Structure 1
Amino acid sequence: MSTLSQTAAGPGTAPASSFLSVRDLYVHFATEDGTVKAVDGLSFDLERGSTLGIVGESGSGKSVTNLAVLGLHNPLNTAIQGEILLDGQELTGASERQLNRLRGKKMAMIFQDSLAALSPFYTVGRQIAEPFMKHTGATRREARARAVEMLRRVGIPQPDLRVDDYPHQFSGGMRQRAMIAMALVCDPDLVIADEPTTALDVTVQAQILDLLKDLQQETGAAIIIITHDLGVIAKTADHVMVMYAGRCVERGTVKEVMQRPQHPYTWGLLSSVPRLDSSVDTPLVPIPGAPPSLLSPPPGCPFHPRCGFTDQVAGGICATARPELPEGERRGSACHLTATQKEAVFIEQIHPRLR
């Protein structure tokens, strides 16, 4: 993992209870067209036994952030600056050997596309057993028994037989369960689930989310759920971080963000979700425009070209000054609207859509 010229100082000291602490994280990719600023000054904390939901459109920096935590970016074209502390251990600039000792044992990732993430050349059982042998020194027989145990734990029927099947012999839901088994085989302290319910039907989605919650209660792991689905966030997360253009634009508890959102982008996300109790001819309220290019983000607030409330901010500063999250607070939004203006807009325009 390469770094920029120097590590930037974080905005204050992380809480003592934080198991994962990210401070002023920047992730830039060098391309033929220029530098892509995929993550642009991100800070957050996560405690053991807690679930953080990261939500935002495609390209907002959700997966890039968490791949940086695991050290999975290509160092040849990636520049990373900032501080990533996992249980007090600095990960930014750590060697590949150091990261390999942590991946699987201390931290693990459930990837979005289980069919692509699992090798077609090896059985599911062998792929689950491999990290267990690597990190514990277990024999092949012991590792196979552990793989069977994990498949049973995640609800795979007849695990002693299915352990010798290949990924293509599993259904989509079963492959996702196998991915979870592989990620949790060493009982890691941090689990990152990248769109764990993508391409699954709603019944299997609910089963997967319940499974993650049950396993968290058993192991006390810290979990990060990356998704664009606000329903998944509402069901699983304790805290929410809304990302836009590589930055956090709003954060808070699930109840705070879902019931009292403060940022125009979050208002747009919530307003665009169809409701079961609304009339079939009720139009959805989409967010106008498209996400900005991360090669050349707009000046000022990155959301201002799509925001319908810039006329309420005096001096046109939305287009010139970038709003910042309040330092040292777990609840807040990066927006130039005053607290009074946010409350008025929410009550008059947004709340009626969400009722």
Structure 2
Amino acid sequence: MTTLTKTEDASAPTGPESFLSVRDLKVTFSTEDGPVKAVDGLSFDVQRGKTLGIVGESGSGKSVTNLTILGLHSPRTTTVDGEIVMDGKELITASEKELEQLRGNKMAMIFQDPLTALSPFYTVGRQLSEPFMKHRGASKKEAKDRAIEMLTKVGIPQPKTRFDDYPHQFSGGMRQRAMIAMALMCDPDLLIADEPTTALDVTVQAQILDLLKDLQQEFGSAIIFITHDLGVISQMADDLLVMYAGRAVERGSAREVMSTPKHPYTWGLLSSMPRLDSNLDEALEPIPGAPPSLLTPPDGCRFHPRCAYTDLVPGNQCSTTRPPLGDGRASACHLTAEQKQTLFIDKIQPRLR
């Protein structure tokens, strides 16, 4: 049964009034092996017309967070605590009927795999039209005109003809464009993009990213962009949240986090990225080990079993005490500010040049 409570997160972000505000979010799944803490005390803000990037390895809680915002979790197996407020509306305590009025209307999602997100039994045009008729009370003709307009806007060739095609008749890039068109049919205030370019070649990927930026400028939507690709996020995001094992470990403007990261996990992500100007014989430096099981996560900092710098922190704090994230530009790490700066300059920055 879903538990609904509101809590105050002392380390909540500060800044201008947010369109979307998430505070101390906890999402726990009930399984046969025990509770899985998929998200554990997450807080962030998203402003109108801005893009928040969320990065992290698979299993870090990125997609779970955003499916929870949309209310797409099973109340029988999921416990949700905390607060999610969108434009003054509390979403965790909202009824399913209220959420249905918001999904596809005020908030929408671009899923990672459009082939599974789109129904194979209905034409693309029908799948675009139905939400518009439901939420806007439009006629079939009005909905078709709107769908053709959106297919044109996202760059689908011959949109009047492709309106009657099925998803399998579209290429991968065209299906992703159709998913974007569907998400934007009702001019949503919040758009969640869950790794929308993962399966696309680099040319189509660049086109999709440019398209999202252009559409955001036109519609003024707040965007949450989920990815594991820091190269992509550097092009898209205004602000950046780095997640590890269900927790936020670093946040700040995308420029700050990419240029002067402060958490060892972010250092590892950046150091493991291939660079166009690097020597082809130069080996990448992967993060050692693997993310922890969220059935039995480690105490203290969840990254400490994989961190190379725990011996610099006195008193075993890394393995016993959870480091706070703090306000504004921050990282959840027990290293001092001086240690972080010295380590970054001496060990990390030379790898990123």
TM-score interval w.r.t. the shorter chain? over 0.9
Structure-to-structure mapping, 1:62-73, within 5 angstroms: 62-73=62-73
In structure 1, how many angstroms separate the alpha carbons of the residues matched to 2:160 and 2:23? 44
Deviation per residue, 1:167-195 (Å, 9 max, x gap): 00000000000000000000000000000
**1:8 aligned residue:** 7
Shift, 1:9, TM fit: 2.4
Matched to 1:345, the amino acid is L
Specify whether residues 61 and 33 from structure 1 end up closer, same or farther in structure 2 by C-alpha distance, changes over 3 A only: same
Report if aligned partners of 1:55, 1:62 keep a CA contact under 8 Å in 2. Answer: yes
Report if aligned partners of 2:14, 2:328 keep a CA contact under 8 Å in 1. Answer: no
Deviation per residue, 1:285-337 (Å, 9 max, x gap): 000000000001001110000000001111111111110111xx220000000
**2:218 aligned residue:** 218
**1:354 aligned residue:** 352
Deviation per residue, 1:223-274 (Å, 9 max, x gap): 0000000011001000000000100000011110000000000000000001
Structure-to-structure mapping, 1:1-355, within 5 angstroms: 2-4=2-4, 6-11=5-10, 15=15, 17-326=17-326, 329-355=327-353
In structure 2, how many angstroms separate the alpha carbons of the residues matched to 1:313 and 1:13? 26
In structure 2, how many angstroms separate the alpha carbons of the residues matched to 1:276 and 1:220? 33
Report if aligned partners of 2:13, 2:328 keep a CA contact under 8 Å in 1. Answer: no
Give the TM-score of the pair, scaled to structure 2. 0.98
Deviation per residue, 1:190-217 (Å, 9 max, x gap): 0000000011000000000000000000
Shift, 1:149, TM fit: 0.5
Q: Structure 2: any 5+ residue segments left out of the alignment?
A: none
SS at match of 2:242: strand
Q: Structure 1: any 5+ residue segments left out of the alignment?
A: none
Matched to 2:349, the amino acid is H
Give the TM-score of the pair, scaled to structure 1. 0.98
In structure 1, how many angstroms separate the alpha carbons of the residues matched to 2:321 and 2:24? 19
Report if aligned partners of 2:13, 2:45 keep a CA contact under 8 Å in 1. Answer: no
Report if aligned partners of 2:13, 2:44 keep a CA contact under 8 Å in 1. Answer: no
Shift, 1:2, TM fit: 2.1
Specify whether residues 104 and 332 from structure 1 end up closer, same or farther in structure 2 by C-alpha distance, changes over 3 A only: same
Please list every run of at least 4 consecutive aligned residues from structure 1 whose deviation after the TM superposition is greater than 4 angstroms.
Answer: 12-16
SS at match of 1:122: coil
In structure 2, how many angstroms separate the alpha carbons of the residues matched to 1:145 and 1:219? 18
Report if aligned partners of 1:132, 1:138 keep a CA contact under 8 Å in 2. Answer: yes
In structure 1, how many angstroms separate the alpha carbons of the residues matched to 2:95 and 2:6? 16
User: Aligned pair count?
Assistant: 352
Shift, 1:278, TM fit: 1.2
Specify whether residues 250 and 205 from structure 1 end up closer, same or farther in structure 2 by C-alpha distance, changes over 3 A only: same
In structure 2, how many angstroms separate the alpha carbons of the residues matched to 1:125 and 1:2? 36
- Report % sequence identity: 71
Report if aligned partners of 1:110, 1:196 keep a CA contact under 8 Å in 2. Answer: yes
Matched to 2:216, the amino acid is Q
Query: What's the Cα RMSD here?
Result: 1.1
